[in-house]
Chain A
Amino acid sequence: MAGHVVVITSGKGGVGKTTTTANLAMALAQMGRRVVAIDADIGLRNLDVVLGLENRIVYDLVNVAEGACKLRQALIKDKRCDTLHLLPAAQTRDKTAITPDQMKTITAELKEEFDYVLVDSPAGIEQGFKNAIAGADAALIVTTPEVSAVRDADRIIGFLESSELHDPRLIINRVRPEMVRRGDMLSIDDVLEILSIELIGVIPDDEGIIVSTNRGEPVVLDPHSTSGQAYREIARRLEGESVPIVPPTPVADGWLGRLRRLIGLQSR
């Protein structure tokens, strides 16, 4: 049976598309699914380093599109989880090096062999984004609870709709529960009210992500990580499991916070 091609996109840069792609790919692969992650950000390749596979690249997406190598030859198999593969972006070319039609052909070929083809989209709404969504069956939109990211997500939702890619699902990344509690960060409900699309997961802001990226080990490999847990739950939702979405809660804030709340200096 043919697999699913899922594009991970956002509009705004730096909201966590690549980290999300890497972690969902790893989480799905650890569930035994055959997964290939495609880095569609040609010229600004990064999924390889986030996955820790940067030293093993021989061929890339552009080589495949141009027929310089076989698709198989360009796939890098992950040593930690042998059902996970990476199709890296070219670093020395730009986004015009491939076309939406070529992406369609490549993703169509991959989904014959894999359960999931995850496409890490570049930021922006230009050719690179159009390439990334070309062969997709579904889209995940990553945003953070910030005005700029939410605005760009809204624009992307509009673009996806006009590209006939319906019902995208939303991942709200880098949520800081303490800031939400004191009214200094848009809450999950605020973001959903504004964007009115379906939510598939909420990732708490987590320093562990930076550490895991430093090491090239997706945070889902750490069983104790809260963000890793959130990514694993999204992977299960992609699989069709019904896993309730629980917004991150503030960690205990010590005696000072409790005292402040007690004497009514802090709301809630």
Chain B
Amino acid sequence: MLDFLQRLLGRESERPSKEQAKERLRLVLVHDRANLSDDLLPALKDELLAVLSKYMEIDENELRVQLAQEDSQVALVANIPIRRIRRAAGFSHQGAGR
């Protein structure tokens, strides 16, 4: 009956609570899964470095990769200081350089 009155009073437009549950779980699990697996972020960092190094020279010691939460989403934030970009010929997919 209370339910009925609440609906009459226009509170039904409130988002169903399960949507909140889902959203909160989604966010918390991003953090849980990333943080609980000790090697996830370091492994990601190593692979990023390997890929990026084909194109540019990175300052490895200053490379930072972490998760940051902004309102309703989690972002992977990477700060990658570049020392030098390699010449275009070095990474051409068509092998045009040589």
> Which A residues contact B (CB, under 8 angstroms)?
146-147, 150-151, 154-155, 158, 180, 182-187, 190, 193-194, 256, 260, 265-266
The reply on B61 being an interface residue by CB < 8 A is: no
A246 to chain B, nearest CB (A): 20
B8 to chain A, nearest CB (A): 7
Q: Which residues of B contact A193 (CB under 8 A)?
A: 22
The reply on B24 being an interface residue by CB < 8 A is: yes
Closest partner residue, chain A, to B7 (CB atom): A265
Q: Which residues of B contact A154 (CB under 8 A)?
A: 29, 32-33
On whether the beta carbons of A182 and B16 are closer than 8 Å, the reply is yes
A37 to chain B, nearest CB (A): 30
A202 to chain B, nearest CB (A): 16
On whether the beta carbons of A147 and B16 are closer than 8 Å, the reply is no
Greatest chain A CB density within 10 A among B8, B17, B18, B28 is at B18
Expressed in whole angstroms, the Cα–Cα distance for A265 and B19 within the complex equals 20
Closest partner residue, chain B, to A187 (CB atom): B18
Q: Which residues of A contact B26 (CB under 8 A)?
A: 194
Q: Which residues of A contact B1 (CB under 8 A)?
A: 256
Greatest chain B CB density within 10 A among A146, A147, A266 is at A147
On whether the beta carbons of A151 and B22 are closer than 8 Å, the reply is no
On whether the beta carbons of B21 and A186 are closer than 8 Å, the reply is yes
On whether the beta carbons of A150 and B17 are closer than 8 Å, the reply is no
Main secondary structure of the interface of B (DSSP, over half): helix
Q: Which of A155, A180, A190, A266 contacts B22 (CB 8 A)?
A: A190
A180 to chain B, nearest CB (A): 8
Expressed in whole angstroms, the Cα–Cα distance for A151 and B1 within the complex equals 33
B32 to chain A, nearest CB (A): 6
On whether the beta carbons of A151 and B33 are closer than 8 Å, the reply is no
A150 to chain B, nearest CB (A): 6
A122 to chain B, nearest CB (A): 20
Q: Which of B7, B17, B19, B32 contacts A266 (CB 8 A)?
A: B7
Q: Which residues of B contact A186 (CB under 8 A)?
A: 18, 21-22
- Given A265-B12, A266-B7, 13 more A-B residue pairs with CB atoms under 8 Å apart are A147-B21, A150-B25, A151-B28, A154-B33, A155-B36, A158-B37, A183-B17, A183-B19, A184-B17, A190-B18, A194-B22, A194-B29, A256-B1
Q: Which residues of A contact B7 (CB under 8 A)?
A: 260, 265-266
Expressed in whole angstroms, the Cα–Cα distance for A256 and B7 within the complex equals 14
Expressed in whole angstroms, the Cα–Cα distance for A43 and B38 within the complex equals 31
